[in-house]
Each structure stands twice: as C-alpha cells, then as structure tokens.
Amino acid sequence: MLSIKNLHASVGGEEILKGINLEIKAGEVHAIMGPNGSGKSTLSQVLAGSETFEVTEGEITLNGENLLELETEERAREGVFLAFQYPVEIPGVSNLQFLRTAVNAMRLHRGEPEMNAAEFMKHAKEVSKQVDLDPAFLKRGVNEGFSGGEKKRNEIMQALLLQPKLAILDETDSGLDIDALHVVSDGVNALRAEDRAILMVTHYQRLLNHIVPDYVHVLAGGKIVKSGGRELAHELEERGYGWLGVKDEEATASSSVT
C-alpha cells in the first residue's frame, strides 16, 4: 500500500523530515506518536502534497504509484485523504456543495457518473448521522462557525464519504471532549477495512484506547526512532519520551491542545 523511503522535507530551507522510512500494508492501522515539533504534522502534509514543504530527497509510493509526481488533487483522487488538524473555513460555500463537488471529482476520476443533488443529499444525510451531526449542518458554510468537535467530526464524515485508500488523521483527537472522542473513534473504526490503510498522527495515547493500532512509531527530530506494536503506546504513556533520548517540551501540558 504505502511505502515511504528516506523521505526528507524542509520548509524555508529548514529540514523537518530527515529520512523517514515507513511501510503500511492494506488493512493496517499505524499510529505515529511523538513530541511537538517532531515533524508529525509535516509528514501528514507532505503525504497529501502540501506546497508549503519541499521534498528534497526520498520517495513515496502508493500501490506502486509515485505520489511525488502527482499534484495534491491528483493524489486525493488516487485515494489519499487527510483529516486536517485545523480544518479551515470557507465562508458562504455550503458543506453540501463542497462535499458533492469533492465526491463528484473522485467519481469523475474513476469514470463513474456524477451524483445529482438529491442523490447526494440522501447519501450525505446518512453519513452525517454516523458521526452524530445534525443533517441541517450540511447546509452551513464549510467549517463556518463550527465548534472544534464539529470540525473534527466533519473531517471524519468526509473520509466516510470519500472512502479513501489511505486515510491520514492528523491530531484528530485534539480539542475533543470525551463524548466527541467516542463519536470520532467510532467513525474511524468504521473506516477500517481490508483494502484501506490508516495512518494516525497523535500526541497522546488516549485516542489509541479507542482506535487500537497495529503498529506504533515514535517520530522525533524528523526521524522514526522507535517502532513497535500497540504496547509501545502504553509504554510511552507510562514512561514519556525521555527513555528514548527524546525531549518532550509538552510532556506536562494538558491534552486540550486545539
């Protein structure tokens, strides 16, 4: 499925990712943990094709296809989905219109007919219930005036609608209260499938109680410094990052980072 080899990326001449190697097979859920500033979000953004970062070395392939040669939207159509840490607002554009445009862009790419407004509405309503969002919210502007929790649920709803091959979840748990965390986790668990890979990026272990990963990796200083099974997350919770020789500036901070 996803293969990352010796990936280096920088922003404004400063290298953030310093040689990442990672293999994720279809059906697997991987968690990337690590202190703030370790490059977790950068990795998510680089995979999705953000133009903020420059890839200076290495390769990324999805089912053998070289992602680095594809534009952001082309990667999306090949099945790369990023649930944003801070979903941005698009005032005046209804969620419904936005989602339908996205879904139809994917369908067009796959050679399927576009969904008309009525069909899509019906489909979107069902999916919105899955993440406990009032269907009325489909008519609101994209992320416009949404609470932190609503934004995150909206991201998961989009993943459910778009059915990606690779879902990257960037700090999807941040800013969620415990109820919302349950809803979001249920949504992500519903995404788990034989033919889909999930990459979760998180600072905290608590999400991993709800979405149990197959593998956990510790990212620090732009490199993966340790990989293991799900038990690694528990170990990190108990012992922090210190034993790995990694400083965590926010080890004592609360989990309400938004």
Partner 1 sequence: MATTDKEVSELVKREYEHGFVTDIESDTFEPGLNEEIIARLSGIKNEPEWMLEWRLKAYRRWLEMEEPDWAHVGYPKIDYNSISYYSAPKRPEDMPQSLDEVDPELLRTYEKLGIPLHEREKLAGVAVDAVFDSVSVATTFKEPLAKAGVIFCSISEAIQDYPELVKKYLGSVVPAGDNFFAGLNSAVFSDGTFVYVPKGVRCPMELSTYFRINAANTGQFERTLIIAEDSSYVSYLEGCTAPMRDENQLHAAVVELVALDDAQIKYSTVQNWYPGDENGKGGIFNFVTKRGAAIGKNSKISWTQVETGSAVTWKYPSCVLRGENSVGEFYSVALTNNYQQADTGTKMIHLGKNTSSTIISKGISAGKSSNAYRGLVKFGPGAEGARNFTQCDSLLIGDRCGAHTFPYIESKNKSAIVEHEATTSKVSDEQMFLCRQRGIDPEQAVSMIVNGFCKEVFKELPMEFAVEAGKLLEVSLEGSVG
**Which parts of this chain interact with partner 1 (CB under 8 A)?**
48-52, 71-73, 76-77, 80-82, 84, 87-88, 90-93, 97-98, 101-102, 105-106, 109, 141-142, 158, 162
Residue keyed to tokens 């697997």: 28
Is residue 104 classed exposed, middle or buried when 0-12, 13-18 and 19+ CB atoms within 10 A define those classes? middle
Q: How far is the CB of 78 from partner 1 (least distance, A)?
A: 9
Per the CB < 8 A criterion, the answer to whether 22 and 4 are in contact is yes
Q: How far is the CB of 151 from partner 1 (least distance, A)?
A: 11
Q: Which is nearer to partner 1, 140 or 210 (CB)?
A: 140
Q: What is the spatial distance between Cα 20 and Cα 15, in angstroms, rounded to a whole number?
A: 12
Q: How far is the CB of 79 from partner 1 (least distance, A)?
A: 10
Buried b (16+ CB within 10 A) or exposed e, 26-46: eebbbbbbbbebbbbbbbbbb
Q: Which is nearer to partner 1, 81 or 215 (CB)?
A: 81
Q: How far is the CB of 190 from partner 1 (least distance, A)?
A: 19
Both tokens of 45, joined, read 């953004």
CA 93 to the chain's CA centroid: 23
Q: Which is nearer to partner 1, 144 or 177 (CB)?
A: 144
Q: Which is nearer to partner 1, 12 or 92 (CB)?
A: 92
